[in-house]
Amino acid sequence: MSSSSQTSPLQVEQEARAEAETNPELYQHFANLVSSLPSSEGLSHNQFYRHDQGWYSGLVPIVGAMVADACFTARPSDIVVATLPKSGTTSIKSLLYATVHRREHHLATAADNHPLISVGPHGCIKFFEYQLYTRNRVPDLDKLPDPRLFATHLPFVSLPRTIATSGSKIVYVCRDPKDHLISQWDFANKLRVMNQLEPLSVETAAELFCAGLSPFGPYWDHVLGYWHAHLTRPQQVLFFRYEEMQKDPAAHVRRLAEFVGHPFGVGEEEDGVVDAIVRLCSFEHMSGLEVTKSGKTDLVIGTVENSSFFRRGVVGDWANHLSPETARRIDAITAAKFMGSGLVLASNGQ
Ligand code: A3P
């Protein structure tokens, strides 16, 4: 394993963050605009607010999204990971980072100084609304070398507008709504307990979910927004399903590499680079790392333990938590919402 002796993109980004200008007036301007948005109880620890086409847990990520929209200038070479929370964000961030940076951070001997091992996936690729445009900061992301990698949970319509117009690439991952709900319920309860709130029962969580009141929900609108974008601009928006990624991760790594313009060469295939990426980013490997077991990620909603991004990492765990009746209800809503869209969930085809 050899790491480049040049300054890594991660270091440049950390420096840019450290030097970030603060602009409290701009944040206050948007905070004033959103202060009267409709609100409701939702599937998390915060009050939910309705903005554009989504429900947000708390006002802070909405303000961050607005500041990003006002200040972020996308480049055609940018790659943005877009997901609903608890849909495989940690996994796709890892696969993307390892794939794009495989030349600086060689994988054959996956050493401890690989950034995914030293700072973890959420330290390698940061969220606009939770990590970059937060706490009055306006980071100078123009300093970052190509290709810049970002992440977001924002609905397609709420992305910083230059992403669509510049032709940046978007990698979207969707997950079966029932597994997404169970994963979200578990995560939300961790945040609720951290904030001295009673945990939600799974029935309450399912009610809120069906009413669309999950973070960045309604689930169906979020998925359809990116699905339609993928159909309209397949060269710009890649659409993956978590369940299919689990079944054949190597095929997805190859598709990802092609899509972002870094296809694997014959030599790399012979050297087993694809399999090395899959092994490095697997649930089993990532969940056992020290950075996962004892590291933390500073998000604008609070500092969370990295271990909370790893639970079971399996397909179909919903059956251990949801009643058959609730599962049928979610399936019926999904079938009605997706009707005519051409979108078929991987779990329906199994
Ligand atoms: P479960 O709660 O069902 O186990 P996100 O990264 O979007 O927050 O999603 C978290 C979900 O992805 C959790 O699902 C977590 O266990 C799973 N996950 C985390 N890392 C993974 C990996 N490397 N491969 C597959 N699944 C992973």
Tens-digit pLDDT profile for residues 178-237: 999 999 999 999 999 989 999 999 999 999 999 999 999 999 999 999 999 999 999 999
Tokens of 51: 């903005």
- Say yes or no to pLDDT of 136 above 70: yes
pLDDT computed for residue 3 by the predictor: 39
Contact 155, 225 (CB under 8 A): yes
Rounded distance, CA 120 to CA 108, Å? 19
Average confidence (pLDDT) over 64-91: 97
CA gyration radius for the chain? 19
The pLDDT of residue 106: 78
- Select from 309, 317, 320, 321 the residue to mutate for testing ligand 1; criterion: most ligand atoms less than 8 Å from CB: 309
What pLDDT shows up at residue 2?
36
CA of 31 to the centre of ligand 1 (A): 32
Question: Which of 1.10.3720.10, 3.40.50.300, 3.40.718.10, 3.40.50.970 is the CATH number of 3-341?
Answer: 3.40.50.300
Say yes or no: CB of residue 317 within 6 Å of ligand 1: yes
| Band of pLDDT at residue 271, cut at 50, 70 and 90 | very high
pLDDT exceeding 70 applies to what percent of the chain? 93
Q: Is 212 left (phi over 0), alpha (psi -120 to 50) or beta?
A: left
- Report the alpha-carbon distance of residue 42 to residue 207 in Å, rounded: 10
**Residue whose CA is closest, atom 8 of ligand 1?**
86
Question: Residue 347 pLDDT > 90, yes or no?
Answer: no
Total residues belonging to the chain: 350
Q: Is 268 in the pocket of ligand 1 (CB under 6 A)?
A: no
Cα–ligand 1 centroid distance for 242 (angstroms) = 9
Sorted by sequence, the CB contacts under 8 Å of residue 2 that are 6+ apart come out as: 106
Give me the residues paired with residue 80 across strands. Answer: 150, 170
Who's near 77: CB < 8 A, 6+ residues apart?
146, 147, 148, 168
Mean pLDDT of the chain: 93
Residue 220 CA to residue 185 CA, distance in Å, equals 17
89 Cα: distance to centroid of ligand 1 (angstroms): 7
Are residues 299 and 175 in contact, defined by beta-carbon separation less than 8 angstroms?
no
Residue 153 annotated in active site: yes
**How many angstroms separate the alpha carbon of residue 173 from the centre of ligand 1?**
12
**Confidence (pTM):** 0.94
- At 56 the pLDDT is 96
pLDDT of residue 110: 55
Active-site choice (153, 180, 230, 252): 153
Which of 178, 184, 310, when mutated, tests ligand 1's pocket best, judged by the most ligand atoms within 8 Å of its CB?
310
Cis peptide upstream of residue 218 (ω within 30 degrees of 0): yes
Compare 127 and 52 and report the one with higher pLDDT.
127
Amino acid code (one letter) for 23 = N
Domain ranges of the chain: 3-341
Q: Average the pLDDT over 26-30 and give the result.
A: 96
